[in-house]
A and B are shown apart, each in its own frame.
Chain A
């Protein structure tokens, strides 16, 4: 089993390397690799169903105990692994076609496979340390894949935004890990939350990390930007697997998060579910609609994890993975047909490309929770679980209505009578096959609810009449609103189009202050700190240059004072002319005349002045020794 664990992580990596080097046949190599890599996961699923559990860990940081890295086989991890591997296989197969005309196809496919490696690591990780490692790698690979179209400005920008947002949230995971280790002395899964502030840090940190990864409000903005990446990437990373890692984290950390942290997560999820739906309704780009839908659905999973426990959340995760991936893959097909994903451009595309439309419809029906599609059952479980919590229930129902509404809106646009008939692009066959498989899965996966709950050992709330009725009414209301042409108030629509201003808020609250602080610090560094150092140097030089002045004026002044006392009466007038004014004029003339060599005026060259200063120096030494003697 240990071997299988490692195989399911490492095989995709090997496949990625092979694909990168494969050249024109990269699609075949990648497909084979992905298929091969899916096998261990399925075997493990079977074994896990038979009660098999395994852990393979090794000490990673030897300085202190408890800092192991390793993989684990248990029900949760294996379910996730199978989901990842299967969706991954389908997407890789699809991508072979999608990237057919792309000169950098090997790199793209290798990137997907490498991502699969990291994602498997994430879901199979044993302990928060390993989880953190893969968590971050997944984020980085995600950024790399988003930026695949590097010449377009949107890709790199979206990648940067995605990575920075998720990494900022990852601070939570870091802090949670630190606090957990400090409090419990271990980073293993399943320990109890430490007391006091450490426990609070653990709770807040984990929830924050999950929110970031799963694009929960108010951090959801990055997911829309991530849509700049190629569509298979969006399908695999930004709908089915990576973004679901946040839900996985919540489920995995159930014991650590019981109580208020889950409550928080639930509220976040519920609000995001509604917010995502609202945003989805306002988007003018198919992929962005789907992205917003993803945040909404992930929000539902948060509610599920908080209200209903692992089985509910994971059930919806799996069902959503299949459905949403199918939707994205269909969107990718439309994208190939019409060379774009804006809804305007796609108007009527469904009529030209019936296969894609069928796949889209299957996915959409599932996500919109139309029975008997898979997500109907899973979402219903969430509704049922939320029944005890009026606030969540209301929000879930609103989100359900919204889900029906935005999918119906998109479907109507896709199926609208086309102004121009463009043929479906050739080479769709692999793409259609892969996408179709997922669409089929999204139909059938409704059945896995019971086995899943058995496997996870967690209750799936019984479906009640109330819950079904409420779900159906909600979906119906949503669909009806679209069919009746109901329009949202303009303010809501504007806000929704702007992502409910979450981005703007982040920009003003975080980004701008940081940028300002950065510029300020840079200027401080350059002008003040460094300037001070340089000024000190210059000052020293000036002191050196001024030393002659000290000799000329300081010592002279002392002598003058003595002289004044002795000879004031007799020659006050002459002294003034000869002494002070002359000296002043001389000094001025000298300073002008030799301004260039100002620093060299230490020595006047006049011996009597040396001698006079020496006598004064002697007096000074006498005083000095006298002082030393007195002290």
Chain B
């Protein structure tokens, strides 16, 4: 820098750096901020937790019609399921839904896959009685509003569920007819999903992730059905 000119032009000399004020400011403000955050977290934490559980339960009840309470189960290393707290998270969880009489309505299972724009996460309900998928609920999606999001709203599409067949083959260790995707109006068999015209990609992705997920989960959960029978959910 042409320091001579610069200093000659203006008499101001850069102030000497003092460490203490800097520490005081940064650390002081930082600690104050930390305290503020903690107190707000303390205050709102339980409410948020409650909200989260409610949200998940809403979804579970949505995909398991008739369920009034739910419980979370974790898949253990030896392919058994053990109860766990209802606010835990992970991809090895299933949720059991129970009706008024504490009878098992079915299981809610989470799955995800690539949709039109980004990953779609859905929760689906499985019924031991009818061996069908009862319903789905979208947990997260960035699909186009009005198109991709019709997997949540399209009546015809939702009509696929409740009767969607995922029964096991006689041997009991694989799904007899993995779920298939067909063009709108082309459905002939109970294991087929009728697509949404205009949102083919998203509906196909939904069918695909359901297939992948059911093929993996259904044989396992059916083998351990009794794990879910005792109603020891938190609520």
Note whether A and B form a binding pair: no
Interface set of A (CB-CB < 8 Å, partner B): none
Interface set of B (CB-CB < 8 Å, partner A): none
